[in-house]
């Protein structure tokens, strides 16, 4: 497969593109946009709960592996109705139009995926359940209320279609206890069990020690933490102790793309704590992405620095 140059209109073959993509041709490179050609038979599938989650926890690996020619699939389970409307209007506030929020967030999701070089975006279209304890949790249409088997069967169809070698989602706690993240974990594990297709299954995580270090740096700069409270990574539990991380992927080269993808979700991130960080701390915080390996048929030794270790 050849890639067409956006500037000249000419085409190059895959190996030619790889040489050009190393910043020797501006038409093929932008620091905030990943362009790629398929040079690999490998496929990565990231299963996320809401629009913007793909950028927050896996933006780095999506950009990195797209650059390497890996086919990247993002599956977004919900529409994100419970996000902010334009202008920061909250779901419980007058003027919050759920249908308009869905339309806006889908537009932003497509833009973020373009920035990250995502090959295919699949939206399952479930209703956002809101944060744990919100009344929307009990809505019959909420993703949280969807039978796991039903959601898993729909995801299994996508696994059959795309044949992912590696699948990434959240842990059983949904990383921070969000019901839709928990449900995304449940249907992903069930679909993996149904299909037996993914060779490796990972959960996103972050070393608690690194989180603590980041917030200490911010405190030293008199930057207030979210909520204005002292950060405690164990209440609620976020991430894992460093020794439990099995896989750390260096994505330092793609921090700009990750930041641009987050900025593409402007309706949700205009006042984002992370986007307001000083650039050096943002780079420190997001120079790598961490995972725990939950399923594996390759026998690749851990710790790893590549989700595709044992597959290439």
Looking at residue 225, what is its pLDDT?
60
More confident residue, 133 or 214: 133
Q: Are residues 26 and 113 in the same domain?
A: no
Q: Are residues 7 and 135 in the same domain?
A: no
Q: Are residues 113 and 137 in the same domain?
A: yes
CA proximity to 306, closest of 282, 287, 289: 289
In a domain, 45, yes or no: yes
**Diameter of the chain by CA atoms?**
55
> How sure is the predictor about 35, in pLDDT bands with cuts at 50, 70 and 90?
low
Looking at residue 229, what is its pLDDT?
58
Cis upstream peptide for 303 (omega within 30°): yes
Angle, CA of 170, 173 and 178, to the nearest 5°: 85
Q: Are residues 40 and 54 in the same domain?
A: yes
> Total domain count for the chain?
2
Distance, in Å, from the CA atom of 41 to the CA atom of 53, rounded to the nearest integer, reads 26
Looking at residue 204, what is its pLDDT?
97
> How sure is the predictor about 297, in pLDDT bands with cuts at 50, 70 and 90?
very high
More confident residue, 1 or 177: 177
Structure tokens at 287: 């120079």
Q: Are residues 57 and 95 in the same domain?
A: yes
150: which residues sit within 8 A by CB, 6+ positions away? Answer: none
- The number of C-alpha atoms within 13 Å of 72 and in the hemisphere containing its C-beta is 29
- Phi/psi region, residue 49 (left: phi>0; alpha: psi -120 to 50; beta: rest), is alpha
Distance, in Å, from the CA atom of 204 to the CA atom of 200, rounded to the nearest integer, reads 13
Q: Are residues 169 and 246 in the same domain?
A: yes
Structure tokens at 47: 């299963």
Q: Are residues 179 and 46 in the same domain?
A: yes
Query: Do 122 and 158 form a contact (C-beta atoms < 8 A)?
Result: yes
Range of the domain at 4: 1-30
In a domain, 219, yes or no: no
Query: Residue 236 above 50 pLDDT?
Result: yes
Backbone phi and psi for residue 100, each to the nearest 5 degrees, phi listed first: -70, -35
More confident residue, 109 or 7: 109
Query: Residue 5 above 70 pLDDT?
Result: no
Distance, in Å, from the CA atom of 166 to the CA atom of 58, rounded to the nearest integer, reads 13
In a domain, 224, yes or no: no
The residue-averaged pLDDT of 31-50 equals: 79
Q: Are residues 105 and 1 in the same domain?
A: no
In a domain, 222, yes or no: no
Distance, in Å, from the CA atom of 123 to the CA atom of 101, rounded to the nearest integer, reads 15
Query: Residue 167 above 90 pLDDT?
Result: yes
In a domain, 227, yes or no: no
Query: Residue 25 above 70 pLDDT?
Result: no
In a domain, 269, yes or no: yes
The residue-averaged pLDDT of 155-176 equals: 96
Buried b (16+ CB within 10 A) or exposed e, 269-287: beebeeeebeeebbebbbe
Query: Which CATH number does the domain housing residue 266 bear?
Result: 3.40.50.10320
Looking at residue 230, what is its pLDDT?
61
Looking at residue 245, what is its pLDDT?
97
Q: Are residues 121 and 180 in the same domain?
A: yes
Q: Are residues 1 and 65 in the same domain?
A: no
């Amino acid at each position: 497969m050849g890639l067409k140059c956006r500037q000249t209109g000419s085409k190059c073959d895959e190996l030619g593109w790889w040489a050009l993509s190393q910043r020797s041709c501006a038409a093929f490179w932008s620091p905030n946009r990943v362009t790629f050609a398929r040079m690999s038979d490998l496929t990565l599938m990231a299963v996320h709960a809401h629009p913007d989650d793909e950028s927050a926890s896996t933006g780095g690996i999506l950009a990195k592996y797209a650059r390497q020619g890996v086919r990247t699939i993002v599956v977004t389970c919900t529409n994100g109705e419970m996000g902010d409307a334009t202008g920061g209007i909250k779901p419980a506030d007058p003027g919050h139009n759920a249908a308009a929020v869905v339309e806006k967030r889908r537009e932003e999701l497509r833009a973020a995926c373009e920035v990250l070089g995502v090959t295919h975006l699949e939206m399952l279209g479930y209703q956002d359940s809101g944060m744990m304890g919100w009344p929307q949790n009990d809505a019959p249409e909420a993703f949280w209320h969807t039978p796991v088997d039903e959601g898993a069967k729909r995801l299994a169809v996508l696994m059959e279609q795309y044949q992912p070698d590696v699948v990434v989602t959240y842990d059983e706690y949904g990383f921070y206890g969000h019901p839709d993240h928990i449900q995304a974990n449940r249907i992903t594990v069930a679909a993996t069990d149904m299909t037996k297709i993914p060779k490796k299954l990972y959960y996103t995580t972050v070393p608690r020690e690194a989180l603590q270090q980041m917030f200490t740096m911010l405190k030293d700069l008199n930057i207030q933490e979210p909520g204005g409270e002292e950060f405690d990574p164990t209440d609620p539990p976020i991430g894992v102790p460093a020794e439990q991380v099995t896989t750390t992927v260096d994505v330092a080269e793609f921090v700009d793309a990750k930041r641009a993808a987050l900025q593409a979700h402007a309706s949700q991130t205009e006042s984002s704590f992370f986007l307001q960080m000083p650039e050096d701390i943002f780079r420190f915080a997001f120079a790598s992405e961490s995972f725990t390996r939950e399923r594996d048929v390759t026998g690749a030794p851990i710790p790893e620095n590549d989700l595709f270790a044992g597959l290439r």
